[in-house]
Each structure stands twice: as structure tokens, then as C-alpha cells.
A and B are shown apart, each in its own frame.
Chain A
Amino acid sequence: MRTDRSNWNTLFILVRRDVLKTWRESADLLYPIMFFVLVTILFPFALSPETLVLRSFAGGLLWIAALLAMSVSLENLFKTDYSSGALEAIVLSGVSLLLVGLAKAIANWVLSGLPIIILAIPLALSLGIDTFSLSILLLSLTLGSATISLIGTSIGALSVGLRSAGMLVIVLALPFFIPILIFGAVATSNSQTGLIPEAELYFLAGLLVLTVTLTPWATASAIRTRLG
């Protein structure tokens, strides 16, 4: 029984492996990004081309697009590992499943959360957001996308290997994303009217801390249940 390996080191190895695995299969990387850009582009067609109109909705639009794009990437978090038996091998290696849950969430955030935040800059400018509220948007997106990854990983672990798991994970997870959407979108729209949205950002940070502490437990028992 070897316990010299420190948890941080194992976590790093797990994350590195997941990122490397998805990086090799780079098709999966593109889906969240393209989805995010496409959804954001749809809004000007639906609403109106003038930036004046778009600006008033910009915060909400970007947040909805980001939220949907991230929930699209939840499906194949565990799918390939589950079908190839790699998830089973990881469980049987005796590593604590909390680390596996956390690592999957971090990998998902790095692979779909980060690109979305980076892409939000040009898209937000195209929708006429000024620089101050852009910074608020990016900050709220960072906090919110991390929370989405964490909750999404738990829900993804619950529905891995099921029929139409892709749709199931989105339908199950969206109700839990509503508070994040509320505070994220309100933070951005408030900042556009000159207010400093501290309260919303504090709530988002609070939600993130809550999910970081609780969701790995849910992911761990979800993995063990699904493998049973």
C-alpha cells in the first residue's frame, strides 16, 4: 500500500492525462468553441443588427451561449473512459475518487471553460460591450464556468453510459445552472449601467466555493454507482 504519492501530484497527473487525451482527439475540443461562437452570432440575426439594441442584451446573450456551450461538452467527459474500461482501471487502482472527480472537472474547465472565456472577448466587443463591463463579464465567466464544470462533471458521471446520455446530462444539469446564469448575467448588465456589481461576484465566488467542496463527493459516489 503506497501513500508517498501526494494528492496534488496525483491530481496533476490525472488532469494532465485528461487534457492530453482530449488534445490528441482535438475534434472534441472544437465543439464547445464553435457552438459558443455560433449561438452568439445567432442573436444579432434574431434581434437586430444595431449595437445599441444588442448592447442592452449583450451580458445575457453571452452568458446563455457560454452556459449552453459548456453543457454540450459535458457528455464526453466520461464517455470514452467508460467504454474503454479506463474508468474501471482508475477506480481499481485505489486512487481516491474525489481526486478523479476534481481532476475531470478541472480538465473540462481547461478544455471548454478557458477557450470560451478567451473567445468571449472578441464576441463581447462585437456586441458593443465597453471595456469596464467586459472585465466584469470575464471575471463572472471565470467564476461561473468553473462552477458549471464542477456541477456538470457530477451530473455527467451520473448519466455516463446511459441511452442518449448527451441529452440527458444537459436536461439534468440546466436547472442547477440557473443561479449561476442569474448572477452572471445580472453582474454584466449592472456593470453596463455603471454600477459596481460586487454582490453578484461575491455570490458567484460563494457558489464556486460551495461546489468545489461538495461536488467531488457526488462525482465520486456517482462513478462508483455507475460502475456497479
Chain B
Amino acid sequence: MFKFFYHYSSLRNFYFFSEKLMPFLITIFLGLIIYSLYGALISAPADYQQGDSFRIIYVHVPSAWMSLLVYMAMGLSAVSVLVWRVKLAEITLSAIAPIGATFTLAALVTGSIWGKPMWGTWWEWDARLTSELVLLFLYLGVIALLRAIDDRRTGARSASILCLIGIVNIPIVHYSVEWWNTLHQGPTVSKFDSPSIHIDMLIPLLTMTVAFMLYFIIISLYRIRSAILVYDKETQWVKDLITSSKREQI
């Protein structure tokens, strides 16, 4: 198994391997997005309490899940940077940090928009939203550190260390915010706990999340591939690739 990873962790192989993968990913992603949008906006029945404003869940919850998933992916590449010194992981870490930040931002904005019809205020210090806000600052911290260091290798290693410190802190922040939230407002069911929702409502949620995952993979592959070309700019295979005229875009 390790042989497989080692083979594909050489940048050149990964570049051409991901090139073959790209068309499949894009077609599946487009199909899923259209299906999930149809499911979310049309076929899912309106919620008896919140009416149609409930449909925001199909955008808010997948983004929130993805923001956490991307940070876990960053943690994995951070470990492989520090422990196994995988060059591809250094590139992956710097490539996916902004993607995670956008998902977190989307989750925050949609969360506060959803809060307006439900509680009448644009921002509610709900435990889940507050942890999401702290997660955004963890992302911005990693991005700021990556920008502050011009040397790519030490930059990736320093950002990996910060990312691992962040990973350890995510559960701590989550539970301390829960504690703080229930302490001040009493133990109410968190507004965002989706009650055991009807199967028709659940399917679009899952397919939308899978679509978001595909989106994440596609965008990070684009960013990783262009970073690989810059990283191996001195090598022969990049020279041949660039000088061959047919290569217009990645």
C-alpha cells in the first residue's frame, strides 16, 4: 500500500495521474450539483415549523461539514510533511488552506442569514456558529503564516506545526464553547441540530455534501497541479510540458 502512495507522491506521476482523473470528477460533480439543487429547492418538502427558510440547511450544513473536513485533510498533510517529509503534502497544505477558509466563510454567512428568520437577529452566539468563527481564525492563521514565510519548504513545515496545534485545539474550543453557551443560556437544543428529518429531506443534504467534496477535490487538484509545475520548474518534464504548444491551460 505504501508503495502506491510513494509512487504517486512523486510530483510528476501525480501530475499526469490527476490529469486523467479530472474529466470524471467534473462530470460527476456537475451531475450531483444539479440533482442536489433540484432536491433541495423543489422536491424536499417544506419544514412544518420554519417553512421554506429551512432550505438554507442544504447550503449551510454541507459547508460547515466541509470546513471541518478540509481542516482534517490539512492535518493529515501536516503530519505527512513533518513525519514522512512528503513533498506533495507540502504543496497540498498550502493549496487547500484557502479552500477551507471559503467553506468556513460560506457556513458563517449562511448560518447568520438562516438565524435572521429564526431568531430575528443577524448574529446569534450559538455554540456551533461560534466554533465555526474560531475555525475561520485558525484557517486565517495558517494562511497568514504561509504568506509571511517566503521560503516554501520552511513555510510549509511551520504551517504544518501550527495546523497540528490547531487540530488539538478544535475539540477543546468546541467543548469549551458548548460549556460557555449552555452556562449562559441554559441547556437548549442547539438551534442547528437538524431534528431527525424526513428521508426526503436527508437525501439532498447527503448528495450536496458529496458534491461539495468533489468541488473541494477538483479545486485543490487545480491548485496542486499549478504548484507542482512551479515547484519542479527546473526539471526536464516541466520544460517539455510547457514548451509543447498544445498546453494552454492546466
A and B directly contacting (CB within 8 A): yes
Q: Which residues of A contact B (CB under 8 A)?
A: 151, 154-155, 158-159, 162-164, 168, 171-172, 174-176, 178-179, 182-183, 186, 203, 207, 210, 214-215, 218, 221-222, 225-226, 228
B87 at the interface (CB under 8 A from A): no
Q: Is the interface of B mostly helix, strand, loop or mixed?
A: helix
Which residues does chain B contribute within 8 Å of A207, judged by CB atoms?
Answer: 172
Nearest-neighbour CB distance to chain A for B132, whole angstroms, equals 12
Whether the pair B162, A155 counts as a contact (CB closer than 8 A) is: yes
Within 8 A of A (CB), among B31-52: none
Whether the pair A178, B161 counts as a contact (CB closer than 8 A) is: no
Q: Render B124-154 as a binary contact track against A, CB cut-off 8 A, 1 for contact.
A: 0000000000100110110011001100011
Which stretch of B63-71, B163-171, B190-198, B233-241 is in the interface? B163-171
Whether the pair B165, A176 counts as a contact (CB closer than 8 A) is: yes
Whether the pair A182, B144 counts as a contact (CB closer than 8 A) is: no
Nearest-neighbour CB distance to chain B for A60, whole angstroms, equals 12
Whether the pair A168, B145 counts as a contact (CB closer than 8 A) is: yes
Nearest-neighbour CB distance to chain A for B98, whole angstroms, equals 17
Which residues does chain B contribute within 8 Å of A159, judged by CB atoms?
Answer: 145, 148, 158
* Complex alpha-carbon distance, A226 and B157, angstroms: 9
Nearest-neighbour CB distance to chain A for B134, whole angstroms, equals 5
Which residues does chain B contribute within 8 Å of A174, judged by CB atoms?
Answer: 137
Which residues does chain A contribute within 8 Å of B180, judged by CB atoms?
Answer: 182, 186
Give how many A-B residue pairs fall within 8 Å (CB-CB): 77
Which residues does chain A contribute within 8 Å of B176, judged by CB atoms?
Answer: 178-179, 182-183, 203
Q: Which residues of B contact A (CB under 8 A)?
A: 82, 134, 137-138, 140-141, 144-145, 148-149, 153-154, 157-158, 161-162, 164-166, 168-169, 172-173, 176-177, 179-180, 183
Whether the pair A172, B157 counts as a contact (CB closer than 8 A) is: no
Which of A164, A171, A178, A228 has the most chain B CB atoms inside 10 A of its CB? A178
Whether the pair A222, B161 counts as a contact (CB closer than 8 A) is: yes
Whether the pair B158, A226 counts as a contact (CB closer than 8 A) is: yes
Question: Would you list 25 pairs from A and B whose C-beta atoms are within 8 A, ordered by A residue?
Answer: A158-B162, A159-B148, A162-B148, A168-B144, A168-B145, A168-B148, A171-B140, A172-B144, A172-B162, A175-B137, A175-B169, A175-B173, A182-B179, A183-B176, A183-B179, A203-B176, A210-B168, A218-B165, A221-B82, A221-B157, A222-B158, A225-B154, A225-B161, A226-B154, A228-B153
Q: Which residue of B lies closest to A167 (CB)?
A: B144
Nearest-neighbour CB distance to chain A for B124, whole angstroms, equals 18
Which residues does chain B contribute within 8 Å of A225, judged by CB atoms?
Answer: 154, 157-158, 161
Which residues does chain A contribute within 8 Å of B153, judged by CB atoms?
Answer: 228
* Complex alpha-carbon distance, A154 and B161, angstroms: 9
Q: Which residue of A lies closest to B156 (CB)?
A: A225
Q: Which residue of A lies closest to B184 (CB)?
A: A186
* Complex alpha-carbon distance, A225 and B81, angstroms: 12
* Complex alpha-carbon distance, A154 and B169, angstroms: 14
Which residues does chain A contribute within 8 Å of B164, judged by CB atoms?
Answer: 218
Q: Which residue of B lies closest to A190 (CB)?
A: B183
Q: Which residue of B lies closest to A151 (CB)?
A: B165
Whether the pair B161, A179 counts as a contact (CB closer than 8 A) is: no
Which residues does chain A contribute within 8 Å of B157, judged by CB atoms?
Answer: 221, 225, 228
* Complex alpha-carbon distance, A214 and B168, angstroms: 9
Nearest-neighbour CB distance to chain B for A191, whole angstroms, equals 14
Choose from A168, A172, A179, A186 the contact partner of B172 (Cβ within 8 Å): A179
* Complex alpha-carbon distance, A155 and B158, angstroms: 10
Nearest-neighbour CB distance to chain A for B161, whole angstroms, equals 5
* Complex alpha-carbon distance, A50 and B217, angstroms: 57
* Complex alpha-carbon distance, A114 and B183, angstroms: 30
* Complex alpha-carbon distance, A172 and B148, angstroms: 12
Which residues does chain B contribute within 8 Å of A218, judged by CB atoms?
Answer: 161, 164-165
Nearest-neighbour CB distance to chain B for A160, whole angstroms, equals 10
Which residues does chain A contribute within 8 Å of B173, judged by CB atoms?
Answer: 175, 178-179
Nearest-neighbour CB distance to chain A for B54, whole angstroms, equals 31
Which residues does chain A contribute within 8 Å of B137, judged by CB atoms?
Answer: 174-175
Nearest-neighbour CB distance to chain A for B116, whole angstroms, equals 26
Closest 4 CB pairs of A and B: A179-B176, A175-B137, A225-B157, A172-B141
Using A171-B144, A179-B169, A203-B176 as known contacts, list a sample of 12 further A-B pairs with CB atoms less than 8 Å apart, ordered by residue number in A.
A158-B161, A171-B140, A171-B141, A172-B145, A175-B134, A179-B173, A182-B176, A186-B180, A207-B172, A222-B158, A222-B161, A225-B161
